Structure formats: C-alpha cells, structure tokens
C-alpha cells in the first residue's frame, strides 16, 4: 500500500518508501528512481481520457513547496478541461518551430532529422550555394517569384536547374510535414522543359580501346617503376623491399572493367562490398542502402568482370569494401587524380567515370536487349529513363526506316 502523507522536504527526508502519495493534493506523488526522487502529478486527461504523469521536477533541484504549487496550478487547469502535458508539448513544439523557422536553421535541424545523411549533405550544399539570399528568411515568407527569378537567371541547362529545384522542393516539402509551412512555394514554379533526346555521352568502340590501352600502359609504367625500386633496394642490401605488383598495380583497371561490364554508378562502386559478390552464382548485388534509388538489384557477372573482381579480391585480401581508400582503408570519395591522368594518356580529356555506365547501357541497346532487362540492370526507377538510350542507336533508326522498303 502506498503511504499517504503531506509531501514536504522534512517528510521526504524521513521516508524510505519508493512512492509517496500526497494526502492533500490529489494525484501529487513523489517517486524514487535510481537517479533520484521526482515529483509528478498523476491524472486522467480531460482531453483524451488517458492516464498520464505530469513531471514537476527533481527533489534537490526544486523544494517540495515549489512542486506543490506547480501541482496545484496543474490540477486547476485539469479542472478547466485542459491537459497540462499537452500544453507543455505545444509550448515545446512552438519553441522548436520558432528555432527552425528560417530555411538555414531548418536545414540544420528538422531536415537532417528526417533525411538520410548522404542525401541531406548533398541537398544542403546545393541549396546553400544557389539560394544564399533565402537562407535567413522565415520559410513562410519565401515567395514563388523569388524562386522563379533564380530559375530565369540560371546559366546552365534546364535539366540542371530542375535538379537544383528538386533539392529545394524536397527540403520545403519536409518543412510542410513539420507544419512550418502550409505549402511549398516551389510547387507554384513550373519546371523548365528539358530536351529528352539530348545526346548521351558514351564510349565508341575505338574510344573504349583507347581507354583500356591507356589503362594497360599505366599499369606497365607502375610495374616498371616498382621493379626499378626493388633492384635499387637489393643493390644497397636494403631488407625492406616491396613485393612486385600482382595482376593489377592499383584499383584503376579493376574499376574500369567493373563499370564497363556492370553499369554501376560511382557511388554504388565505392559502396560495393566483398560480401555482395556471390562467386557460386556469379552475381553482384547492389544493396538498396548504397544505391541512388534505394532499391536492391542483382547483376550477372560475365567472364571478364568476374575474373577481374575475384583476382583483385584474392590478391589484395580485402574483406570489407572491394575498393577501399589506399590511404584510410575507408570508403573512396573519388578517383580524380588517377582518372585525370588516365584521361590525358588516353587522349580522351572530357570522359568521366559515369560515361562508362552509359557505355554499358548503350552496348546493351545496340545488342537489342529489351528495355525492361536494361532498366533492371541499370537500376532505373522508370522505363522513361532507360528509353533515353534508344537515341544512341543509329543502326536501329536506319533499320527501322529501311524496313519500309522491304515491306513494299
């Protein structure tokens, strides 16, 4: 049975009970926990009929007399049909909303709370770069005309402007979920029309041969340099001698072969783990968490890429990431230094790593693989995206027009 006494500082000092119920104020209690003694008001909410505990403070930080006054105030509100817990929550939410009211503060707080880190980092960087004039404005005062003005002045392609607006729209839509906005002002700004048939940059067969030849040449340079160093060390009887290179001198050739034969996005490539490669089934699994679309997919490994990856993993001894950073052992962010050197040596100064993904899809189209299969291999969200690669096949267009004559 819970002891009922008037809760005072002197009574608390004398009591050894885990819970004391006040003899004068209904629902006013003191509960002993591992971290101390705490005042509460136990009550049935007049708003939702639920039984609740309203915290009043910790004994030692506030005296019993202050806790009693707080309990009396709370019971008075309950008698009027109010819920002190709900009122406290509303005040806290109001303060939080005020703190997040500007775009800058919302991006740092609420937006990050409900957005994956990688997505948030990218979007915040984009928004801060392009909408610096809006960052310190209360979000409800951001006008569609301000966004339209930015859109009209954007110097790049329509697709670029639309991608940037998508980041802003994503952030402001989440502000609506936090009830900081009634609606996103971006919704009232029409997206720019994009050229859906614009050229996709992929490697021709000749360019692919040039790239692979440059990769092999680079490997031979690395191999020769390592052998010269080994000879130098042996001549000076230096026992700290490096081993000769194995099949690959570094990650660049395996990466090039992997992307050309799997179509992995750079991010998916850098996230690829040894455990995602099933040697028996010869399947590579792109895990949803490391994918742009968040969807898991599987890619069959042809002989070239299968042998490349298994040899690379066996010779390096990697057990986590397939292509970890050689400096940190963690995830690679980019391969810009090695890639820029490769571009120069191959005579293809404008090629980027993503073009190898485009090359993979284009080769499939040219080989008359159906769009649904290509969509699944590429990890596209819709066939509309995959259909863009149809524009890369002039042979399909030539054969289509030529077939009209054959029908006559």
Q: Calculate the alpha carbon distances from 95 to 100, 132, 184 in Å.
A: 9, 25, 22
Structure confidence by residue, pLDDT tens digits, 230-262? 787 777 776 666 677 778 888 999 999 999 999
**Tokens 């026992």, located at residue:** 239
The answer to whether 54 and 40 are in contact (CB under 8 A) is: yes
- pLDDT for 98 equals 63
Check residue 304 and report its DSSP letter.
Answer: H
| For residue 407, pLDDT beyond 90 | no
Contacts (Cβ under 8 Å, ≥6 apart) of 358:
200, 201, 202, 389
**Sheet of 36-44, strands arranged across:** 3-5, 19-22, 28-33, 36-44, 51-58
Look up residue 72 and give its two tokens: 């009396």
Q: How many CB atoms neighbour CB 55 within 10 A?
A: 13
Q: How far apart are CA 257 and CA 253, in angstroms?
A: 6
Does an H or E element contain 321, and which? none
| For residue 405, pLDDT beyond 60 | yes
The answer to whether 192 and 184 are in contact (CB under 8 A) is: no
- pLDDT for 209 equals 95
Per-residue pLDDT, averaged over 320-346, amounts to 89
Domains contained in the chain, CATH given? 3-95 (3.30.160.390), 100-188 (1.10.150.130), 205-401 (1.10.443.10)
Q: Calculate the alpha carbon distances from 107 to 122, 138, 182 in Å.
A: 12, 12, 17
Contacts (Cβ under 8 Å, ≥6 apart) of 166:
none
| For residue 358, pLDDT beyond 80 | yes
**Tokens 């809760």, located at residue:** 7
The answer to whether 310 and 318 are in contact (CB under 8 A) is: no
CB-neighbour burial class of residue 162 (10 A; exposed 0-12, middle 13-18, buried 19+): middle
Mean pLDDT lowest for which of 110-119, 208-217, 320-329, 398-407?
398-407
Share of the chain above pLDDT 90, in %: 49
Does an H or E element contain 74, and which? helix 64-79
Look up residue 216 and give its two tokens: 């092999």
Does an H or E element contain 130, and which? helix 117-130
- pLDDT for 287 equals 86
Contacts (Cβ under 8 Å, ≥6 apart) of 145:
none
Rg (CA), the chain: 33
Q: How far apart are CA 258 and CA 247, in angstroms?
A: 15
Claim: this prediction has a pTM higher than 0.85: no
Mean pLDDT lowest for which of 24-28, 200-204, 271-275?
200-204
Phi, psi of 279 (to 5 degrees): -70, -35
């Amino acid at each position: 049975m819970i002891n009922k006494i008037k809760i005072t500082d002197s009574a608390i000092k004398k009591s050894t009970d885990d819970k004391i119920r006040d003899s004068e104020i209904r629902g006013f209690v003191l509960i002993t926990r591992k971290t101390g003694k705490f005042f509460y008001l136990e009550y049935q909410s007049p708003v939702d009929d639920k039984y609740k505990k309203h915290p009043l403070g910790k004994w030692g930080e506030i005296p019993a007399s202050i806790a009693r006054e707080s309990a009396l105030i709370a019971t008075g509100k309950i008698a009027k049909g109010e819920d002190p817990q709900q009122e406290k929550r509303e005040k806290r939410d109001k303060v939080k909303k005020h703190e997040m009211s500007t775009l800058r503060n919302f991006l740092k707080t609420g937006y990050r709370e409900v957005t994956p880190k990688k997505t948030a980092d990218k979007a915040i960087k984009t928004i801060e770069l392009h909408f610096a004039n809006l960052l310190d404005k209360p979000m409800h005062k951001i006008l569609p005309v301000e966004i339209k003005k930015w859109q009209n002045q954007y110097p790049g392609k329509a697709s670029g402007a639309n991608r940037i607006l998508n980041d802003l729209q994503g952030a402001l839509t989440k502000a609506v979920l936090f009830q900081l906005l009634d609606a996103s002002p971006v919704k009232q700004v029409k997206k720019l029309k994009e050229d859906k048939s614009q050229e996709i940059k992929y490697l021709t067969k000749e360019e692919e041969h040039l790239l692979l030849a440059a990769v092999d040449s680079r490997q031979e340079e690395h191999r020769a340099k390592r052998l010269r160093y080994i000879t130098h060390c042996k001549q000076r009887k230096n026992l700290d001698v490096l081993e000769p290179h194995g099949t690959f001198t570094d990650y660049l050739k395996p990466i090039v072969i992997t992307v050309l034969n799997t179509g992995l996005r750079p991010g998916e490539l850098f996230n690829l783990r040894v455990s995602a490669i099933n040697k028996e089934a010869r399947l590579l699994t792109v895990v949803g968490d490391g994918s742009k679309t968040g969807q898991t997919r599987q890619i069959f490994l042809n002989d070239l890429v299968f042998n490349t990856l298994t040899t690379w993993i066996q010779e390096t001894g990697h057990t986590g990431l397939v292509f970890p950073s050689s400096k940190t052992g963690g995830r690679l962010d980019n391969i810009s230094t090695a890639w820029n050197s490769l571009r120069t040596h191959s005579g293809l100064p404008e090629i980027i790593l993503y073009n190898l993904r485009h090359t993979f899809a284009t080769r499939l189209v040219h080989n008359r693989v159906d769009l649904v299969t290509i969509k699944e291999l590429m990890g596209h969200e819709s066939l509309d995206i995959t259909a863009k690669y149809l524009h890369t096949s002039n042979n399909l267009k030539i054969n289509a027009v030529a077939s009209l004559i054959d029908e006559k």
